[in-house]
Amino acid sequence: MTDDLRSEIIRLARQFHESRPPAPFVPGETYIPPSGKVMDADDCANLIDASLDMWLTAGRYADQFETEVAAIFGRRHAKLTVSGSAANLLAFACLTSWKLGEKRIKPGDEVITVAAGFPTTVAPIVQYGCLPVFVDVDVETHNVDVDLLEAAITPKTKAVMIAHSLGNPFDVQRVAAICKAHNLYLIEDCCDAFGALVGGQHVGTFGDVATLSFYPAHHITMGEGGAVLMNSPLLAKIAESFRDWGRDCYCKPGVDNTCNKRFGWRLGDLPKGYDHKYTYSHIGYNMKVSDMQAAVGVSQLKKLDHFVARRRENFAGLERRLRDAGLEELFHLPVPTPGTDPSWFGYLLTVRDGSGINRNLLTKTLEERKVGTRLLFAGNLTKQPAFRDVAYRVHGTLDNTDKIMNDSFWIGVWPGIDEARLDYMVETIASVAAEIRG
C-alpha cells in the first residue's frame, strides 16, 4: 500500500509538471536571460521521491550522485557539497591539511591564478593566508597566458588554481606539465565547464583536485550544489573531513562505528577511547547537501550530454549569425583553445578598439530590449573593493584583464535558447551597435 501510494504521488507530480506549458516567445517582450535551467518531469519526480523519504540530509541520492559523477570523469572520488564556491573552498582547504606533511599549502605560500574571473576561485587562497599571484589572460580565449604563468613561478609558489573560462578550457595539458615539473598542486575550477574536453579527456582530470557547480545557471542543476573531484584516497578523506565539521570520523549520516573501534582511538591530546564521532582533525565546516538536491542532480545528470550539445549548437548559431551580420568588425569573437572541445557557458563579446561602441551603453540598451547580458564576472579582481586590503602580487601587467573589464560582456547559450531567440539576440545587437555608432 505504501509503495502504491508513493508511486501515485510521484505520478501526480509528473502530471502537474507537464501541465504547465512554457510561455511563447514574443520578440522584444520576452526577456532572454543569459543563463537558466531546463527542468522536466523526471527532475520533479526525483525531488518528490526524495522528499517522501523525509531523510532530509545527504542520503541515498547523494551517494548515487557522487558515484555517477565520479564515473563520468573517470575519477575515484567525488565529494558533493553545497555550491561551486564551497567546492573551491573545500578543494583548497584539503591541500592545507597537516596530513599532507611537507607537501601541504601553508600561510605565506604563493598560488598562481588570474584576476579575470569569479571571486570564489581566488577567495580560498586569501582565506587560507596565501598570496594570490595574478597573471594576464588573452582576449580571444579569455584564458590564462601560460607563458606568463610559467614565468611567475618562484620558490614560494605552491599551487596553480584557475578556472576554465566560460566553458572554454585553458591549455591544461601544458599547465599540468608545468605543475608536475615544479612540484605544484593544480586545482581546476570546472564550475563553468562541465563536459569540456581536451584531447578527448574531460577537464577536471588533469589536476590534483577539480570543482563543479550545480547552481541553476550551470550545465546541470540541483538548485544549489557543487562537487570536488580527486583520485587520491587521502585527499578524498581529508576533503570529507573538512566538509563534515572537520571530524576525523568517516561514518555516513545515521551510521555509527564504521571503523569498528569507535571507542578505541587515541588522537591528539584526547583521552584514549574518546568517541571517534566527536574527534576533529581539521578546522572544518558543514557543507553537506540535502538528499532532495542530490535527487534532482541524479536526474539532471542523465541529460548532461544533451545540455552540452545544445550549448555547443547555440554557440555555433550565434557565431554564424554574428559573422553574417558583419559584427566581427566591431567585436572580438571568442575562440576555442586549440585542441579543445569547449562546453560553453556563455558567448563572450569584446568591443574592438576604435569601434566607437561603449560597452556599458550597449549592455544597458540590450537589457532594455530584453536581451540579457553579463560581464566576465569580477572583471579585474584587483580593482574590486573586496580586494582593496588584500595582499597579492601581479606578474607583468593585467592589460588584457583590464580590456575585458572595460569592454567585454557575454550573452546566453543555455539549452532554453532556441533559433527564434538567437535571431532576435543578434538582430538586436546589430541594431543597437549601429545606433551607438551613429
Which amino acid, one-letter code, is at 348?
A: L
Of the candidates 191, 141, 139, 140, which has an alpha carbon nearest to the alpha carbon of residue 162? Answer: 191
- What's the CA gap between 75 and 193, in Å, rounded? 16
Catalytic status, residue 17 = no
Q: What secondary structure does DSSP assign to 52-95, as a single string?
A: HHT--BS-HHHHHHHHHHHHHHT-SEEEEES-HHHHHHHHHHHT
Of the candidates 167, 219, 221, 204, which has an alpha carbon nearest to the alpha carbon of residue 346? Answer: 167
The residues with which 134 forms a beta bridge, in sequence order, are: 113, 394
Residue 134, helix vs strand vs coil: strand
- What's the CA gap between 223 and 1, in Å, rounded? 32
> Could you tell me the CA-to-CA distances from 301 to 43, 134, 298 in Å, in that order?
10, 34, 5
Catalytic residue among 164, 218, 219, 332: 218
Q: Cα 3 from chain centroid? A: 38
- What's the CA gap between 237 and 360, in Å, rounded? 47
Element counts in the chain: helices (H) and strands (E): 13, 14
Reading phi first (left if > 0) and then psi (alpha if -120 to 50, else beta), residue 236 is in alpha
By annotation, the residues acting in catalysis are 218
